Structure 1
Amino acid sequence: MPSALRNLVTQTAIPGILGGLGPLAHVDFERQLIQLNAKRYPGQDQHHPVWVVVSATNIPDRTLSLAGEQESCTPWLIRYGQCLQRIGADFMVVTCNTAHAFYEQVQPNLAIPWLHLMDLTSVYIRRQHPHCSQIGILATDGTVRSQLYEHSLRYQGLTPISLSLGSKSQQQVMDAIYHPQWGIKSTGDRVAPLAHEALAAAIEVLKDQGAQLIIAGCTELSVAFNRLPPPGLPWVDPLEVAAQTTINLAWGIEQLGILPLQNSAS
């Protein structure tokens, strides 16, 4: 770690956050970092770890990129990951679920590890919710199509339940995120009633299919669920899981070499 960026002598790693996907995702993630760290080390500003952020709002839409409707996100993710690397980050967190579909193309081009949200979340569920084996997934079409959570959950012995591409319920999730008038990308940190209703309806479908727990598998959904009443099932926010891991890595409580860094796709 470059000495110029080192905070307290106990900080052993500098997190690099690739945000801007969408524009609120890294803001909510940083809020979680601050809140989690303050519970452990209340007091001075200097008791918070140093981290670096790139708000990469010009990366093409991940879902459209995967569908071949926009250019590939791979070179953009590599460029910004290398930017974080040059600044002094020791590992990278990308605050976008769908971006992880490009993980295997991006990671070999970086000298620092990219923490894999799906692997971290699946391990967390297995450990912290041992009685939940049927896991519902709310995510974009791109994440569902790429089977990102399905691979990681199955690797942990869990059963994924996702909405079918093209179904009414999956379209409700997409509308809650992308609708030009009331989708979360349009309304920011205010969740419109129609978005709330759409998500509630989709959750009911997952519940009817046997889901015992819900993954908020899109960072806009993480933002929404943190501002809405409980969704009717236990839910896990992958950003919160990643935030806890990030704090632990920064202070040396966990080590990079023993994390589940995308060992599940094979």
Structure 2
Amino acid sequence: METRMIGVLGGMGPLATIDLMQKIIIMLTRAATDQEHIPVVAYSDPTIPDRRAALFDPSQQSPLPKMIAGLKGLERSGAEYIVIACNTAHHWIPILTDATKLPILHIADAVCAALSIRARPGTKVGILATNATLFSGFYDTRLRQHGFIPVRLTHEEISTLEQSAIALVKRGEIEAARPFVRDAVNALHSKGIEVVILACTELPLAIPRDVSRSMTYIDATECLAQSAINWYRDRRSLLSSQTNVADASRGRR
């Protein structure tokens, strides 16, 4: 049977790409041998232009050409399904979807699927994300479609999170980022929020171990990894069933 692979479009940033890969390979896949792991191909290009800059300033270089080049590279490498290891990049999903023959899983859809299991409709859900991701609005839209109430930090609190915690993680200074993530979580907790989406792929790397345990944390990267695994298993099961039917049909001839 031909190998079916999940394609990861990454490099935005590299540590977030590694985190997604680790969650697919280590945290969420129960495998006893090499052969039981899920085939994954990653395209990690850290030279993709800054998504935030392009979103807020049309005169800045667009990330689209290099993201599309990454999709084409994944197509050539045998990927059958795409996940993108960057929340803000999902702003361009409509264009990226038109640029590839492969289906792309939207990270906010993966998050809402997990939320529907872990929280009731009507729940207020805090979103920890960059200004660019929040500006795009795709989390707010999908949360409301599923009956949840999105809640954000103030613009100043978001800017502090972005310019401190997220910037530190991108530089590899994860321990230094933790206090700023703690402050952001505490700010949401003070608003009465009990469910928080870590909606920047850098944030799960820096979530402090001593933050409030009364809150439910939804790791968007983990949700994306789990949805990718579910797709792979469903696809493999379908192909196996089709093969068995074909074999049985040939046996009756």
Q: Given the two structures, how large is their TM-score scaled by the length of structure 2?
A: 0.85
**Is the CA contact (8 Å cut-off) linking 2:121 and 2:148 kept in structure 1?**
no
Partner of 2:204: 222
Note the alpha carbon deviations across 1:134-161, whole angstroms, 9 max, x for none: 1001111100111121111011010000
What is the match of residue 53 of structure 2?
A: 64
Counterpart CA distance in 1 for 2:73 and 2:29 is 28
Which of 53, 61, 64 aligns to 2:42? It is 53
Runs of 4+ in 1 over 3 A off after TM superposition: 253-256
150 and 247 in structure 1: CA distance in 2 versus 1, 3 angstrom threshold: same
Matched, 1:173 2:161: yes
Q: Which residue of 2 aligns with 1:21?
A: 12
Deviation at 1:132, TM superposition (A): 7.2
CA–CA distance in structure 1, aligned partners of residues 165 and 106 of structure 2? 22
Task: State the 1:76 CA deviation.
Answer: 1.9
Structure 1 CA distance for aligned equivalents of residues 222 and 124 of structure 2: 20
Using the alignment, how far apart are the partners of 2:210 and 2:120 within structure 1?
A: 20
What is the correspondence of 1:7-46 to structure 2 with a 5 Å cutoff? 13-39=4-30, 42-46=31-35
Aligned-pair distance for 1:90?
0.7
| Separation (CA, whole Å) in 2 of partners of 1:202 and 1:113 | 34
Among 155, 175, 187, which residue is 1:191 paired with? Answer: 175
What CA distance in whole angstroms lies between the structure 1 residues aligned with 2:146 and 2:48? 31
Query: How far apart in 2 are the matches of 1:73 and 1:164?
Result: 27
Seen in structure 2, the aligned counterparts of structure 1 residues 117 and 254 have a Cα distance that, compared at 3 Å, is: farther
Q: Secondary structure at the match of 2:103?
A: coil
CA distance in 2, matches of 1:154, 1:66: 23
Deviates more, 1:203-212 or 1:238-247: 203-212
Inter-partner Cα distance in structure 2 for 1:83 and 1:187: 27
Give the distance between the partners of 1:253 and 1:229, measured in 2 at CA.
Answer: 36
Q: Distance in 2 between matches of 1:70 and 1:171?
A: 20
Q: Which amino acid aligns with 1:35?
A: I
Deviation per residue, 1:16-69 (Å, 9 max, x gap): 001111111111111111124543xx3210111211111111111111111116
Quote the residue 2:95 is aligned against. 105
Q: CA RMSD in A?
A: 2.2
| Cα distance, 1:99–1:230 mapped onto 2, change above 3 Å | farther
Question: Which residue of 143, 152, 160 maps to 2:150?
Answer: 160
| Structure 1 pair 141–148 and aligned structure 2 pair: CA distance change class (3 A) | same
1:176 Cα deviation from its structure 2 partner: 2.8
Q: For the structure 1 residues 59 and 177, does the alpha-carbon distance in structure 2 shift closer, same or farther, using more than 3 Å as the test?
A: farther
More displaced, 205-214 or 102-111? 205-214
Partners of 2:9 and 2:237 in 1: CA distance:
20
Q: Which runs of 5+ in 2 are unaligned?
A: 239-253
> Given the superposition, is the C-alpha separation of residues 19 and 62 from structure 1 closer, same or farther in structure 2, using an over 3 Å criterion?
same
- C-alpha separation between the residues in 1 aligned to 2:236 and 2:127? 27
Q: Is the 8 A contact 1:248 1:254 kept in 2?
A: no
What amino acid is aligned across from residue 27 of structure 1 in structure 2? I
Question: Could you list the runs of 5+ residues in structure 1 that have no partner in the other structure?
Answer: 7-12, 257-266
Give the alignment's TM-score, normalised by structure 1: 0.82
The answer to whether the 8 A contact 2:201-2:221 is kept is: yes
1:242 aligns with 2:224: yes
- What CA deviation, in whole Å up to 9, does each residue of 1:211-255 have, x standing for no partner? 221111111102212xx3153121110111111111122222699
After superposition, give the CA deviation of every residue in 1:189-225 in whole Å (9 maximum; x if it has no partner).
Answer: x321xx2222222222222223221111111102212
